[in-house]
Structure 1
């Protein structure tokens, strides 16, 4: 019997609650650590997966502190190797980075209509640019051998990764589909390269931490 290629098992996790989350800031690539709650969320997820006997061959993480801390907590519990890759960084929010939502509203003018090609925060990544980087992250992942990959990243980037998977380009005025990723919530996907078929098994699973956003 002919052996078919093995599928890719891909788990996408958003980092635990960060100081920037708790202060309602546009974090982007500003580097905020986890809160005590965020660390507890990461430990709860790691313990859940340990109890479920979850196995991962490699953990790939954004290098920002909030994702790095989340990754290291999980990796220590599950004994998995961590690799840091800047393709998985959060959106560059330009001049909005580190500001609260109130500060952004008060200090910047906002056009009535925006396209996906417009930058965010003056010179940050617009939706199209972030979508293209998410596509690079996807392509980079699929150049590897099929295995069980755990990705720890950010809500904005993970949304565009999901859009790249399902083939939906960014829309004008921030409209269209959004995928919810609460803090330490995860999605699970499988990709069958011999059929070019995706299966999305879970989205925003946060059973380990019920009151996540």
Structure 2
């Protein structure tokens, strides 16, 4: 029996993603038109998959503009409120905010996960500091709203944090995950008749709702949900 379900939708394509810049709280300018379409397709899919009860009652999100815009589209379609949680914010980028990822990764010799105990810019997080903060908040949220279906409009890094938490990955783990714009990731907490409880990764980085728009049919490289499958893939940032 599924007792709790955690659905994570990465925000749609943002202007900072197109420009290749670090979109921190100071310089995030929200979604592109394409990003709005992507999130609307995700919202339509979720509405179709959960038409009755127990239904989604809230969309949780972080404070950054691209997250709030994504959450608003999801919430409007599902006819539920948005709750902004500071704990769902992305990494603190410090002086990297507004600079290009090309410059930051060249100076840092990789993305933030490459050197997880070093800040990638002055006044920035380290990757492990972000991960510790994000996993602690997700654990608190899952405890606070247990036995519900929880929908989060998330940063890609928050999806990675959820995997780190529920897979019990150690800090500094070399495991990487691809998280595409407007992709759906679903975790289910299951309780069986023998009293055993565990978290199951039902799907990761499912973009089949976007593939339908592009190709007119289900398909693409991601794994559709509800097949009980997992995928080992690489990491993206933003």
Q: How far apart in 1 are the matches of 2:94 and 2:19?
A: 18
Q: How far apart in 2 are the matches of 1:186 and 1:25?
A: 24
Selected match of 2:28 from 28, 31, 48: 31
Equivalent residue for 2:164? 163
TM-score (norm 2): 0.77
- In the TM superposition, what is the alpha-carbon distance from 1:46 to its structure 2 partner? 1.3
Q: How far apart in 2 are the matches of 1:196 and 1:141?
A: 18
Q: How does 1:1-213 map to 2 (within 5 A)?
A: 7-29=3-25, 30-54=27-51, 55-104=55-104, 108=107, 110=109, 115-144=115-144, 145-171=146-172, 176-192=174-190, 195-210=196-211
Q: How far apart in 2 are the matches of 1:41 and 1:89?
A: 21
Q: How far apart in 1 are the matches of 2:140 and 2:129?
A: 17
User: Structure 1 residues 34 and 168 mapped into 2: Cα distance closer, same or farther (>3 Å)?
Assistant: same
Moved more, 13-22 or 41-50: 41-50
Q: Which runs of 5+ in 2 are unaligned?
A: 215-219, 221-235
Moved more, 138-147 or 12-21: 138-147
SS of residue paired to 1:176: coil
Higher relative contact order (CA 8 A, sep 6+): 1
User: Structure 1 residues 129 and 196 mapped into 2: Cα distance closer, same or farther (>3 Å)?
Assistant: farther
Q: 8 Å contact 1:88–1:153 — kept in the other structure? A: yes
- In the TM superposition, what is the alpha-carbon distance from 1:196 to its structure 2 partner? 4.4
SS of residue paired to 2:119: coil
Q: How far apart in 1 are the matches of 2:205 and 2:161?
A: 15
Q: Which runs of 5+ in 1 are unaligned?
A: none
- In the TM superposition, what is the alpha-carbon distance from 1:121 to its structure 2 partner? 1.2
- In the TM superposition, what is the alpha-carbon distance from 1:81 to its structure 2 partner? 2.0
SS of residue paired to 2:209: coil
- In the TM superposition, what is the alpha-carbon distance from 1:115 to its structure 2 partner? 4.5
Q: How far apart in 2 are the matches of 1:104 and 1:85?
A: 28
Moved more, 32-41 or 89-98: 89-98
Structure 1 residues 18-63: Cα deviation after superposition (integer angstroms, max 9, x where no partner): 0001111122444221000001111111122223335312211111
Structure 1 residues 121-160: Cα deviation after superposition (integer angstroms, max 9, x where no partner): 1221111111111222222212223100001110122212
SS of residue paired to 1:208: helix
Q: 8 Å contact 1:134–1:164 — kept in the other structure? A: no
SS of residue paired to 1:16: coil
